[in-house]
Amino acid sequence: MLINAPLDKKDWELNPDNYAKDEDGEFILKKDGTPRKKSGRAKGSKGRGYNYHSETKAKQAAKRTVKEKQKKLKAAQKKVDNYKESIKKTNKALEEDGVFSPEELEALPKSLREEANESVIFKANEGPQEDFLAASETDVLFGGAAGGGKSYAMIVDPLRYAHRSAHRALILRRSMPELREIIDKSRELYPKAFHGAKYKEVEKMWTFPSGAKVEFGFLERDADVYRYQGQAYSWIGFDEITHLPTEFAWNYLASRLRTTDPEIVPYMRCTANPGGAGAHWVKKRYIDVSPPHEPFMGADGLTRKFIPASLQDNPYLAKDGRYEQMLKALPPTQRKQLLDGDWDVAEGAAFTEFSRLDHVITPFEIPLHWERIKGIDYGYASESACVWGAVDPSDGTLIIYRELYQKNLLGTELGELITNMELDDPFSVQGVLDTACWSRTGTTGPTVGETLQKQGHKLRRADKNRIQGKIQIHEYLKITQSGRPRIQIFNTCPNLIRELQGIPLDKSNPEDVDTRASDHAYDALRYLIMSRPRNANPLDRMRDIKLEQSYRPVDSNFGY
């Protein structure tokens, strides 16, 4: 071999195994430890060694470059492999449900991720829509402002399980024309989300490649639910559920909710705008029970939650402001329901101007020198109500700071309760009491009015003019130029607040409220306000006080 070896090769190049390397990777030691001269140009050599060494160096440098390139190639190969793997995963995710989960999106390489984001078929609006689509409670209401993205979420939600063959979803609305709108939306969305999803108009049913089905139906009358007799659904959604006047259909269909697939969690879902024929039962079932977003257990044993919707949460409609403009032009009740998503306002409400935002305040300590008054409406079988007010001397605003609302109280019991509740007041508060309480007809003992007076309550007969009283309450609810209404109510008075929100107009006499509704706190407030109808202006109030003082009756027992 040595014979064939090129002449300029040194032994350590030809037989590298006999040599060890120094830290520069050069062969400088023989394995037996005998050093080779480092310089390569041995003392006394004729210069050839020098040339020879630099040549070697060049070769070695080349070798190193090759090695580095190989290393880089290997890394690149690894990257390609990872990339291939992630594409495989992506395809699998797409096959499963056609949509990227946030984790799946995150796992994608950057360039793919950007591409996926661009071609994403559906992306939930941040906030309530996202919360609704992620909710794990069995029964969820997504309710509030129009345009909040509720119906859209309703057609997306059943796709949760579109990759499971046993999945059966049913989307319901009150009427066929209304149903048409959401069917049209599904026709835009579903085929993009699932290639191969097929819609059959006759059955109003989508079939997905997995075999999963999403069906549309309407419930014009309660009896329409029997169309679903004997069926089982793993997902049932009611769009605009308040259009259903009773909970009959919901209850019936809840009994159809089940699945044979252990991987599927069955869900009931509904959306609604506030108001409508069924607002009452919907509010009672989903809204009055627990604060928004807080899950609770219903009496039927189902986990339940209410998610409020607002227009601002849907950038698709909120951005250009036109839709909002349109909602702003609606009459007050509808405006509050559809723009503010306010569930508190009732259809045909007498005090549409009443608003939590303007008229309800957080309690504060009433200064000792503020004038205090109270109004009492007595009832035994129905509630007795008493509301206490204080007048802010700076602008005459009436602050309702306390309420009593309780059934089955005898006159003496009511008096004692009031006395106890007034312990925090600097002195016993003057008030007005329903005139019926002063009437002797049919009673032998002292009247309620007399009983209360005996207990030390300073009371006058209330002015019971219903129509004037109602006008005065409207006057007080008006927002003055200062931006403050003339009445504000502590949020610790839920009964008065509820009555002012909900009390309906009398259908045959719109000048008055409907007396069949619960109106005891309202009446108490009306008496209170009527006892000082001109007192909005502090100067008027001064005059009133002077008048009252000059007319103070001799018989303090019976008031005046």
Ligand X SMILES: Nc1ncnc2c1ncn2[C@@H]1O[C@H](COP(=O)(O)OP(=O)(O)O)[C@@H](O)[C@H]1O
Residue that has been written with the tokens 């008055």 in this structure: 512
Task: State the nearest-atom distance from the C-beta of 293 to ligand X, in Å.
Answer: 17
Q: Using CB under 6 A, which of the segments 50-58, 314-322, 366-374, 406-414 binds ligand X?
A: 314-322
DSSP reduced 3-state for 547: helix
Task: State the nearest-atom distance from the C-beta of 309 to ligand X, in Å.
Answer: 6
User: Strand 303-309 and strand 296-297: pairing?
Assistant: antiparallel
Closest to Mg ion by CB, 172 vs 366, is: 172
How far, in Å, CA of 60 to CA of 16, rounded?
13
Q: φ and ψ at 21, to 5 degrees?
A: -100, 150
What residues numbered 120-139 form the site for ligand X, per CB under 6 A? 122-125, 129
Which of the choices Mg ion, ligand X, none does residue 125 contact, using the CB cut-off of 5 to 8 A by kind?
Answer: ligand X
Closest to ligand X by CB, 122 vs 370, is: 122
Please give the size of the binding site for ligand X, defined by CB under 6 A.
16
E strand map for 252-397 = 267-272, 296-297, 303-309, 360-361, 371-377, 384-391
How far, in Å, CA of 547 to CA of 37, rounded?
125
Q: Residue 7: CB partners within 8 Å, gap ≥ 6?
A: none
Closest to Mg ion by CB, 159 vs 493, is: 159
Closest to ligand X by CB, 146 vs 404, is: 146
Q: Give the residue, chosen from 172, 272, 279, 309, that forms a contact with ligand X under the rule CB under 6 A.
A: 309
Q: Using CB under 5 A, which of the segments 88-96, 120-128, 150-158, 475-483 binds Mg ion?
A: 150-158
Q: Using CB under 6 A, which of the segments 8-16, 149-157, 383-391, 466-474 binds ligand X?
A: 149-157
Q: Residue 465: CB partners within 8 Å, gap ≥ 6?
A: 530
Q: Give the residue, chosen from 128, 147, 275, 415, that forms a contact with ligand X under the rule CB under 6 A.
A: 147
Task: State the nearest-atom distance from the C-beta of 227 to ligand X, in Å.
Answer: 24
Which of these, 395, 405, 442, 401, lies nearest to 425 by C-alpha position? 401
Closest to Mg ion by CB, 129 vs 151, is: 151
How far, in Å, CA of 251 to CA of 73, rounded?
65
- Is residue 173 involved in binding ligand X (CB under 6 A)? no
- Is residue 151 involved in binding Mg ion (CB under 5 A)? yes
- Is residue 151 involved in binding ligand X (CB under 6 A)? yes
Closest to ligand X by CB, 193 vs 400, is: 193
- Is residue 259 involved in binding Mg ion (CB under 5 A)? no
- Is residue 149 involved in binding ligand X (CB under 6 A)? yes
CA angle, 149 as apex, 148 and 154 as ends, to 5°? 135
Closest to ligand X by CB, 293 vs 319, is: 319
Q: Using CB under 5 A, which of the segments 120-128, 142-150, 251-259, 502-510 binds Mg ion?
A: 142-150
Q: Do 377 and 370 touch, CB atoms closer than 8 A?
A: no
- What sign does the dihedral 229-233-239-245 (CA atoms) show? positive
Closest to Mg ion by CB, 150 vs 174, is: 150
Q: Using CB under 6 A, which of the segments 142-150, 258-266, 285-293, 478-486 binds ligand X?
A: 142-150
Residue that has been written with the tokens 């044993």 in this structure: 301
Instruction: Give me 159's structure tokens.
Output: 């796709």
E strand map for 435-545 = 459-461, 487-490
User: Strand 398-406 and strand 487-490: pairing?
Assistant: parallel
Task: State the nearest-atom distance from the C-beta of 119 to ligand X, in Å.
Answer: 14
Closest residue by beta carbon to Mg ion: 151
Q: Using CB under 6 A, which of the segments 109-117, 245-253, 281-289, 313-321 binds ligand X?
A: 313-321
Please list the helix, strand and coil fractions of the chain in percent, rounded to the nearest 5, in that order: 40, 15, 40
Interface residues toward ligand X, by CB under 6 A: 122-125, 129, 146-152, 309, 314, 316-317
Binding site for Mg ion (CB under 5 A): 150-151
